[in-house]
Amino acid sequence: MLLQLIYKEIKLELRNKYALGGIFLYVIATVYTSYLSFRNIIHPATWNALFWIIMLFASINAISKSFTQDSPGRQLYYYTILKPQTVILSKMIYNALLMILMSLLCFVFYAMFINYLVQNLPIFLLVLLLGSIGFSSILTMISAIASKTNGNFSMMAILSFPMLIPFLITLIKVSKLAVDGIDNSVCYPYLTVLILINIVVLGLSYILFPYLWQD
Amino acid sequence: MKVLKWWKILSIICILYTIIAGFLLPVPALPILHESIRNLYFHVTMWFSMILILSVSVIYGVIYLNKGFKYYDIVSAEAAKVGLFLGILGVTTGSLWANNTWGAWWVNDAKLNGAAISLLFYFAYLILRNTISDDDKKGRVSAIYNIFAYTMMIVFLGVLPRMTDSLHPGNGGNPGFGGYDLDGKMKIVFYPAIIGWSLLAVWILNIRIRMKSIIEKLHTH
C-alpha cells in the first residue's frame, strides 16, 4: 500500500511536469543569481552558508504544495481506504526522494558556477542526505498543518522557520567541518544529532498526523 | 471578605521577599558581575516559570486532542500566551544583564539562540490560531503544532548548548552559579524566588482562563 502510494505520487509528479521542472528551475535560477552577485566565493564559511540558505528556500518551495495538490474529494477517498500513517509516510518518503535529487542537483550546479571547496566529500554527501531527509520530514508535517489554514505559503514559512533554524545551524556546522576536511571522528556527534532530530520528527508526525487528518 | 487561596498568599509573600531580600541581602563580590548578580533572582526565574507554563500548555493540548472539550483548548492557548510573556521578560532582563557584563545587548550564544527560537515558535503558534476560523479545527491544529513545537524546543534546548561554547554559567567550561555562591547566601533568596514567580505565573494564567471562559460564554449565548 505504501509503495503504491509513493508510486502514485511519482506518477502524478511526472504527469504534470511543470511542478518538477519548476522546482529544478528555481534551484538553478537561484544558484545563477548568486553566481551573478558573488562571482566566486573563496571563503569556505560563506560558501557553505550560502549553499544551505539556497537549499532552505528551495525545499520550502518544493514541499509546500504536497498537501494542497490533492483535491478534497481525493483526500476523502484516501480517508476511507487508508490508514493516516500510511499517507504521511508515503508523502515523507516521496518528498525525501525529491529533496535528495534536488540537493544533488543544487550541489552540482553550485560547485560548477560558484566554487568547489569540499575537502571531505563522503561526509559532505552524508550531510546532504541527512539534511534532505530532515527538511522533507519537517516540512511535510508543517505543510500538512499549513494546508488546514487559509494563507498557505506564508504560513508554511512562519510555522517552519523556528523548527528549521536549529536544524540548519547544525547542518551548517557539520558541513563546514566537511568543507574544511576535518577528520570524520569530529563529525560523528553532529551526525548523531541530525539522525536524532530526524527520528524525533518522524515519530511525532506518525503520532500526531492521525489527529490532523480527521476532518 | 473573601480570603485569597493559600498559594496566592504564598506567591505574594515569596515575591515581596524576593524583591526586598534580593536587593538588600549581601551577595558574593565578584569581578565584572558586581551587584548585577542580583538579576539572578529575576532573569533565571523567568525561564523556570516559562518552561513550567509552557509545559502546562502542551499537557492541555494533549488532553484537548483526546477529549475535545473547548475548555482544554482555552487553557492551552492562554498558557502559551502567558509563557510567551514570561519569555519576553526573560529576554529583556537577560539583555540588560548582558549589556552590563558581556558588553552587548545580544550575543551569538547557544542559549540566546534557543530563547529566540522558542519565542518564534510561540509567535507562530498565535498566528496559526488566528488564521483558522472554525473553533474545533483551530483547537486541534494548534494543539498539534503546540506538541510538535514543544518537543522540538526541548530537543534543541537540550542538544544545541552542548555542542557549542556558551557565555552562560554552567556551559562551555564556565562554572555554574553554584560555584560562585560559596556560602549559600544566594540560595535562600533564589529558591523562594522560583516558587514566587512560578505561582504568580499560574495566578496570571488562572485569571486569563476565567476571563476567556466568560468571553466564550457570552459569545455562545
Give the number of A-B residue pairs with CB atoms closer than 8 Å: 79
Mean of pLDDT values over B10-19 = 91
What pLDDT does residue B170 have?
60
Dihedral-angle region of residue A116 (phi above 0 means left; psi in -120 to 50 means alpha; beta otherwise) = beta
**Contact flag A166-B124 (C-beta cutoff 8 Å):** no
Q: What is the average pLDDT score of chain B?
A: 85
Total-model pTM: 0.86
What pLDDT does residue B195 have?
92
Reported residue count of chain B is 221
DSSP secondary structure code for residue A82 in this structure: S
What pLDDT does residue B199 have?
93
pLDDT tens track for B115-141: 888 899 999 999 999 888 888 889 999
| Dihedral of alpha carbons A43, A47, A48, A50, sign | positive
Cα–Cα distances in Å, from B16 out to B89, B91, B193, B194?
18, 22, 9, 13
Instruction: Among A84-93, A156-165, B39-48, B150-159, name the one with the lowest average pLDDT.
Output: B150-159
The structural domains of chain B, with segments of one domain joined by +, span 59-220
d(CA A170, CA A187): 11
Q: What is the 3-state secondary structure (H, E, C) of chain B?
A: CCCCCHHHHHHHHHHHHHHHHHHHCCCCCCCCCHHHHHHHHHHHHHHHHHHHHHHHHHHHHHHHHHHCCHHHHHHHHHHHHHHHHHHHHHHHHHHHHHHHHCCCCCCCCHHHHHHHHHHHHHHHHHHHHHHCCCHHHHHHHHHHHHHHHHHHHHHHHHHHHHHCCCCCCCCCCCCCHHHHCCCCCCHHHHHHHHHHHHHHHHHHHHHHHHHHHHHHHHHHC
Non-local CB neighbours of A34 within 8 Å, separated by 6+ positions: A50, A54, A113, A114
Tell whether the model's pLDDT for residue B146 goes beyond 90. Answer: yes
CA angle (B145, B87, A142) in 5-degree steps: 20
Residues of chain B contacting A149 with CB distance shorter than 8 Å: 128, 131-132, 141
Structure confidence at residue B57 as a pLDDT band (50, 70, 90) = very high
Q: Among B117, B140, B147, whose Cβ lies nearest the Cβ of A162?
A: B117
pLDDT tens track for B98-114: 888 888 888 877 788 88
Could you give the count of Cα atoms lying within 13 Å of A206 in the half-sphere of its Cβ? 8
pLDDT tens track for A108-120: 999 988 888 888 8
pLDDT tens track for A123-157: 899 999 999 999 999 999 999 888 888 766 788 88
- Higher pLDDT residue, B55 or B168? B55
What pLDDT does residue A128 have?
93
pLDDT tens track for A52-85: 999 999 998 888 877 777 777 877 887 888 888 8
What pLDDT does residue A11 have?
81
Closest residue in B to A143 (Cα) is: B145
Best mutation target, A163, A188, A195, A213, to test chain B (most B CBs within 10 A):
A163
d(CA B181, CA B178): 5
Closest residue in B to A208 (Cα) is: B144
**Contact flag B163-A159 (C-beta cutoff 8 Å):** no
What pLDDT does residue B29 have?
73
What pLDDT does residue B83 have?
94
Non-local CB neighbours of A8 within 8 Å, separated by 6+ positions: none
Q: Among A158, A170, A201, whose Cβ lies nearest the Cβ of B127?
A: A158
Which of A167, A203, A199, A215 is closest to A88 using CA atoms? A203
Tell whether the model's pLDDT for residue B185 goes beyond 60. Answer: yes
> Interface of chain B against chain A, CB under 8 Å?
65, 113-114, 117-118, 120-121, 124, 127-128, 131-132, 137, 140-141, 143-145, 147-149, 151-152, 155-156, 159-160, 163
Tell whether the model's pLDDT for residue B182 goes beyond 60. Answer: no
Tell whether the model's pLDDT for residue B44 goes beyond 90. Answer: no
**Contact flag B131-A163 (C-beta cutoff 8 Å):** no
The structural domains of chain A, with segments of one domain joined by +, span 2-213
Structure confidence at residue B35 as a pLDDT band (50, 70, 90) = confident
Reported residue count of chain A is 215
